[in-house]
Amino acid sequence: MDKKLKLGIIGLGTVGQGVVKVLSPFDDIEIVGAAVKNLSKKRDVEIKCLTDNPFDLANNVDIDVIVEVAGGLGVYDVLKTAIKNKKHIVTANKELLARHGSELFDLARENDVIIMYEAAVAGGIPIIYPIKSSLSANSFSSVAGILNGTTNYILTKMEEDNLSYHDCLLKAQELGYAETDPTGDVEGYDAMYKIAILSNIAFNKRIDIDKIYREGISNISSLDMKLADEFGYKIKLIALSKKMNDLSGNECLDIRVHPMLVSKNKSLADIKNATNAVMLDGFPVGEVMFVGAGAGEFPTASSVVGDILTIKSEFNSNGEILPMTVCHHSDYANQINIEDTINCYYLRIKAANTPGTIGKIGLACGKYNINLSCILQKGVNDDRSATIIVITEECYEKDINLMIKDVEQTSEVRVLNRIRVM
């Protein structure tokens, strides 16, 4: 008879309880205990042994695998202890992996254990294992995606219901899509952690998250959504990582998270509400996209339990570690500064409704080698100012910043929003 795989679970929130429920039919897997913050809190599942000290699980000799679904950086030392005690790790903790993954993977390799983390990037969407297995023959040029359901829900409602960002955020909080403090989602931190992990496995390089440019959606207005629609675009919070050459010709990675105008002709433009999507471009496969639920009790539990079963399959054979589950690279990527990236831009400008204003904007663009794809005045506001929309052709980020600084030297022109175009 096969030996039972014995688990210790850290965290019994929504995802943790989902994991327990999904595991219930598996007689060959036993949950030895769980660590929680509040021992007296009522839960939908029953665990025979609860503790408020996760080190009890990390040091328990009967436990083979620690399943960490608590989140946050506070479990770092607990997981280090568990790894030193020769326990495999299954985690959904994107922030921990993005910030401390290098140390944890090195420690795991030293102790002949593995870290599985399918649920850390896109909830129920299988993406990490496919990149490492089915798509392992590919050389990837880019990874891009909608990796945060909260922001995608807010932007969808702003577009469809013509509501303000603030109103849509409140609605997202009421429905449980957004936290009481939504900063991690709406300011792009969550998506930043996820694109760091995806970049790591797609490009076989370690990523410094402090070098990832990050911008949230709080400056997007319903007017921007309406104008983008008129020009054939939708606005999405995009996490992007792509190969390019820096100004010296050296290969580097351009990794960033920020709102983008996405053409309605692109598949990512059709991703609505809390749905997530990851798009990969590689050779020989070409362009492929993975779409599904990026969060939630059972979608995330699906990925967590899938990792557990992968470990179980090895646990019952020869005990050797699957090569694809081990982090083999140690070099850090050369990450380009956002100032040196090349993009097209949408600018929403408020300017005095006087003759020559559009000409001044055009001259400023020419001064910094910026070609215009479109420049259009959209009526006159109540205060007699004009709303002017500019869409540029490709130019350097540093040049568009100089152009904006130049046109804002007078009180007649203010750039109210600048959004990159995908």
Rounded Cα distance, 183 and 160, in Å: 23
Question: 97: closest CA among 86, 112, 108, 87?
Answer: 108
Task: Give start and end residues of each alpha helix (H) in 178-317.
Answer: 183-186, 189-203, 222-230, 297-315
């100089």: which residue's tokens?
402
In one letter, which amino acid is 273? N
Question: 332: closest CA among 212, 200, 138, 201?
Answer: 200
Contact 241, 203 (CB under 8 A): yes
Geometric angle at alpha carbon 151, from 418 and 159, rounded to 5°: 70
Geometric angle at alpha carbon 127, from 12 and 23, rounded to 5°: 35
Q: Which two tokens stand for residue 135?
A: 């798509």
The catalytic residues are 194
Q: Which two tokens stand for residue 351?
A: 């300017």
Phi, psi angle pair for 296, to nearest 5°: 110, 160
Segment holding 161, helix H or strand E: helix 149-161
Q: What is the DSSP string of 2-35?
A: PPPEEEEEE--SHHHHHHHHHHTT-TTEEEEEEE
């990490």: which residue's tokens?
128
